[in-house]
Copies of this chain bind each other. A is one copy, B any other.
Amino acid sequence: MTKRVGKQTIKLENRPRIITTTSIVGPKEGDGPLKDYFDIILEDDLNGKDSFEKAESSMMYKAVQETLKKGNLKEQDIHYLVAGDLLNQTAASNFAARDVDIPFLGLYGACSTMSESLCVASLLIDGDYADNVIAATSSHFSSAERQFRFPLEMGSQRTPTAQWTVTGSGAMLLSKEGNYPYTTYITIGKIKDYGQTDANDMGSAMAPAAVDTLKQHFEDTGRKPEDYDLIATGDLGMLGKKITIELIKEYGYNLSNNYIDCGDEIFDKERQKVQCGGSGCGCSAVVSCGYIYKNMLKGAFKKILLVSTGALMSPTTSLQGESIPGIAHAISIEFGGE
C-alpha cells in the first residue's frame, strides 16, 4: 500500500500539522502591502550585526527561537531543523543551526527552499520519524546582491526584469496533533531548463518549472486550480507569473482567478521601485508564514497550494555560459474545509 498518488505526488495520510509560524522581515518588506501579517519587522537590516551575512543568519536564529516560544516548546523537543538559504555553503542556515541544540538537515533548493523544507518536514512527521520539526529558510537583499550580482557600493542600475531579494526569514513548526492547518499532498519537482541565460530575469527561468510541477500536481491528485482557494508560486515576480499563466493554459488549466505569486505581492512595485517584484528564499517563506498562514487561521483560505520556485544557477555557472535551471516543489495545506 503505497502513499504515492499518480506519477510524482505523495499523499500525507497523517496530516502533519503546522502548529505555528514566524515571519521576520527587513524595513523595506515591513513597509510593503503585507506588513500587517509579519511577526517581526526589523528597524535595521543589519539586525545589530557587523555583516549582512551575520544579519541574515541572526534572522533565521530569531525565527526559530520565536517559533519555539509560540509553540511553547524547547529546543530539545524539536527532533529536526530542516533549513537552507541562498548563501554560498548555505552559511546563514549553518550558523543559525550551530546555535541551537537540534539535529540539522541542510537543504539547497535556491528560492524553492521553503516548500522543499516544508515537504521534508512533512514527510518526517507523516512517517512517524519525528514529533516536532521546524522548517526554515532565509534570504537578505544585501548579502544576495553582493554574492550573486554586484557590490552595493557600485550602485549598479537594475534591469526592468530584475527582482528584489527579500530580507526575511520564515519558520514553521510541524507536529502530529491538534486543530491547525495541515499538509496533505506534496509534489517534488523536476529541474526544467528552457535555455534562459539572463540572471536578471529569474522569473522567466523558473516559470517552466512552476508550470511542470503545477500540471503534475493537478494530474496526480485529480484536483483542478479552482479546487484551491489560493495557489501561490514562490518568487516568479510579475513577468514570471504572466508566463506561468500563459504556459499552463496549454495544458488546459486556468490560473487567472485564484493565483498569486509571493514575489508579485510582497512589495508595492511602483512606490518601492522593485521592478518585477521580490525574490529570494525568504520571499515565499515570509509570505506563507505571514499572509497565507494567518489567513488560513482566520478561515479566509481553506485550501491552498504553495509552490516555491528556485533558480539553480550559480555565478560561476553563469560566467561559464550555462543557462538557468529552475525547480518548483508544491505542497497543499488545508484547514477547516470539511
Contact = CB atoms under 8 A, between A and B. Distances in A.
B4 A95 contact: no
A103 B316 contact: no
Contact of A53 (B127, B193, B317): B317
Most buried by B among A2, A105, A123: A105
A233 to B, nearest CB: 18
A104 B116 CA distance: 10
A108 interface: yes
Given A94-B325, A104-B191, A188-B105, A320 B4 contact: no
Most buried by B among A94, A120, A124, A314: A94
A129 interface: yes
A263 interface: no
Interface residues of A, number: 59
A242 interface: no
Contacts of A98: 191, 193, 312, 325
Interface string A303-319: 00000000011111100
Contact of A116 (B94, B101, B106, B312): B106
Contacts of A190: 101-104
A219 to B, nearest CB: 14
A193 B98 CA distance: 7
Q: Which 10 A-B pairs have the closest CB atoms?
A: A127-B127, A89-B314, A94-B312, A103-B188, A108-B108, A98-B325, A88-B88, A91-B314, A98-B191, A106-B108
Interface of A: 1-4, 8, 10, 50-51, 53-54, 79-80, 84, 86-91, 94-95, 97-98, 101-110, 116, 120, 123-124, 126-131, 147, 188-191, 193, 312-317, 320, 322, 325, 327
